[in-house]
Every structure is written in C-alpha cells, then in structure tokens.
C-alpha cells in the first residue's frame, strides 16, 4: 500500500512519464519547443523535458509548471534552454539549471529551493543567477 501511494504521489510530481519534468500551462502567440532535431509546436498540456529549448515569437508567451511547483513564463522573442532538471518528490532535493540566451523570463521558484538554496540557477550570456526562494524577472536585450 505504502509503495502504491508513493507511486501515485511520484506520478503526480513527475506529471507523466519519467522524462517529463513539467507541463505547458499557458500558450499565447507563436512558440515552439526544440527537442533534439525535432521542432514541436507548443500547446497547453504538452510535457516539457530536460534539454528542451523553448523558443517564442514576437507575440509569444509560454507558461510552464514544473514537478516541484516552480513556475516559468518565457516572454516574447525569447530562447530558454532547460539545461538540467532533477527533483525528488520525497526529499524535495533537486537541481534546476536553465539558460536564457535572449528575451524575457519570469520565475516563481518552487519546492526544491526551499529544500536547498542553491538548487536553482539561471544563466544569461553574461551572468549566472542563484535563486533563494523568490519571484524574479530576467531580461536579455
């Protein structure tokens, strides 16, 4: 019974299959995900995976909820790479690294930064941000 519960809870945390780390919740305007050699149009309910690159057009916005309840919004004319995403739904330990090479990103940090303050990092062309449990915005012009 206990292991079944863990399974149910684990499934909830991971949204769906093992490689899925988040889910697209909001889509406005033009946007796609680059996954390996594929270019996938985004739609609400689509899973997000480690190593995905979210690309938006001039009118594009994409909102993503991650397994640890981190929330991301990728603004217009942006490129965001999910470099690394690991989250243990039992211990809340994890690591979330992403790179914004251009455009705008809004972040609401989730459970993993409450567990370990250095779990979330955002890179830009000239900086690296460490996140300690907060909402913030990054813009690269």
Residues that bind another protein (CB under 8 A): 1-2, 4-5, 8-9, 11-12, 15, 23, 25-26, 28, 44-45, 61-65, 69, 71-76, 102, 104-106, 108-109, 113, 124-141
To the nearest 10°, the Cα dihedral for 70, 108, 84, 59?
110
Q: Which is nearer to another protein, 18 or 37 (CB)?
A: 18
Q: How far is the CB of 102 from another protein (least distance, A)?
A: 7
Residue 89's Cβ-side half-sphere holds a number of Cα atoms within 13 Å equal to: 17
Q: How far is the CB of 113 from another protein (least distance, A)?
A: 8
Q: Which is nearer to another protein, 5 or 17 (CB)?
A: 5
How far, in Å, CA of 135 to CA of 86, rounded? 20
Q: How far is the CB of 58 from another protein (least distance, A)?
A: 11
| 33 touches 54 (CB < 8 A) | yes
How far, in Å, CA of 81 to CA of 84, rounded? 9
Q: Which is nearer to another protein, 82 or 113 (CB)?
A: 113
| Residues contacting 75, CB < 8 A, separation 6+ | 56, 60, 61, 103, 104, 105, 106, 139
Q: Which is nearer to another protein, 41 or 133 (CB)?
A: 133
Q: How far is the CB of 135 from another protein (least distance, A)?
A: 4
């Amino acid at each position: 019974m206990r292991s079944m519960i863990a399974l149910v809870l684990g499934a909830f945390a991971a949204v769906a299959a093992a490689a899925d780390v988040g889910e697209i919740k909001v889509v406005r305007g033009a946007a796609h995900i680059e996954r390996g050699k594929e270019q996938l149009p985004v739609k609400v309910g689509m899973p997000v995976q480690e190593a995905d690159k979210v690309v938006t057009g001039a009118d594009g916005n994409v909102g993503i909820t991650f397994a640890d309840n981190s929330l991301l919004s990728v603004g217009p004319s942006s490129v965001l790479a999910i470099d690394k995403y690991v989250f243990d739904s039992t211990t809340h330990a994890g690591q979330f690294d992403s790179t914004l090479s251009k455009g705008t990103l809004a972040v609401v940090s989730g459970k993993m930064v409450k567990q370990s303050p250095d779990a979330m990092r955002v890179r830009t062309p000239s900086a690296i941000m460490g996140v300690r449990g907060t909402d913030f915005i990054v813009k690269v012009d």
